[in-house]
Amino acid sequence: MYTDCILGKDYFYQVIEKIAGLIEEKRDYLTELDAAIGDADHGFNLSIGFREVLKKMPEWKDKDIKGFFRSVGMTLLGKVGGAAGPLYGSFFMKFGEPGSGKDEVTFQELFEMFKQGVEAVEQRGKAILGEKTMVDALRPALNAFEKAMKENLEAKQVMEAFVDAARQGAEATIDMIAKKGRAMRLGERSRGHLDPGAASSTMILEVFLDCFPF
């Protein structure tokens, strides 16, 4: 299964370029979400980080997949303020690990990349499901990826299940009370708002589907 589904560096470059464009486009929307329950900087912070990534990307062309994502992660870590910097920084640094010494990965390895990335976010943020964080989008997405793969769905369908689960997970944060981050201080008043991190993570995963070549 999935033997024809090989993803090269060009796919990953395209994904990061598109994420950078999308963050720019959605910058004010993400900041508005953060204004409701946080400190109104999420979109702004991410856009600073991804602008820098976009600027430096040409220097990373010769790196293997691991090296490329390590550079993406380090750049976000260094440039993105607030909690998002360490979280997305850890995500992308770990995401590349299965691509060590490689210019292309299998579909199974793509799953492994997401697995390592999501686990890194969970560890870094010490967050679990139901706390109104990006984990509420990322964890269900990862679980859906694994389930769909076990059911032998086609690669494209696996990616669709993955993104659908992220969307549903993000949507579910609206009814949650925040247990992490600044929003936690609002207690009950954090209910009724979409979590900005869950929203941005979902957007990012959507790009992996949009660019998916199969």
Please select the residue that binds Mg ion; options are 38, 43, 96, 117, rule is CB under 5 A: 38
In the complex, least distance from residue 32 CB atom to Mg ion, rounded to whole angstroms: 12
Element (H, E) at 105: strand 104-106
**34 or 136, CB closer to Mg ion?**
34
**Identified binder of Mg ion from the candidate list 9, 34, 169, 197, rule CB under 5 A:** 34
Q: Give the x/- contact pattern for Mg ion in 161-190, rule: CB under 5 A.
A: ------------------------------
Residue in the structure block whose two tokens are 């929203």: 199
In the chain, which ranges are continuous DSSP H helix? 9-25, 27-37, 42-56, 65-79, 84-95, 107-125, 135-150, 155-172, 196-210
CA angle 93/201/74 to nearest 5° reads 25
Contacts with 175 (C-beta within 8 Å, 6 or more apart), sequence order: 191, 192
- Applying CB under 5 A, the span of 18-26, 28-36, 109-117, 168-176 interacting with Mg ion comes to 28-36
Tokens of 67: 């090296």
Q: Which residues contact 62 (CB under 8 A, 6 or more apart)?
A: none
Shortest Cβ 81–Mg ion spacing (Å): 8
30 alpha-carbon distance from chain centroid: 14
Question: Which lies closer to Mg ion via its Cβ, residue 39 or residue 210?
Answer: 39
121 vs 94: CA distance, rounded Å:
9
* Contacting range for Mg ion; rule: CB under 5 A; set: 5-13, 16-24, 48-56, 82-90: 82-90
> Which listed residue (15, 22, 31, 41) binds Mg ion by CB under 5 A?
41
Q: How far is the CB of 164 from Mg ion (least distance, A)?
A: 27
Find the residue with minimal CB distance to Mg ion: 38
Q: Which helix (H) or strand (E) segment is 104 a member of?
A: strand 104-106
Q: Is residue 125 near Mg ion by the rule CB under 5 A?
A: no
**In the stretch 189-208, what mask flags binding to Mg ion with x, by CB under 5 A?**
--------------------
**Site residues (vs Mg ion, CB under 5 A):** 34, 38-39, 41-42, 82
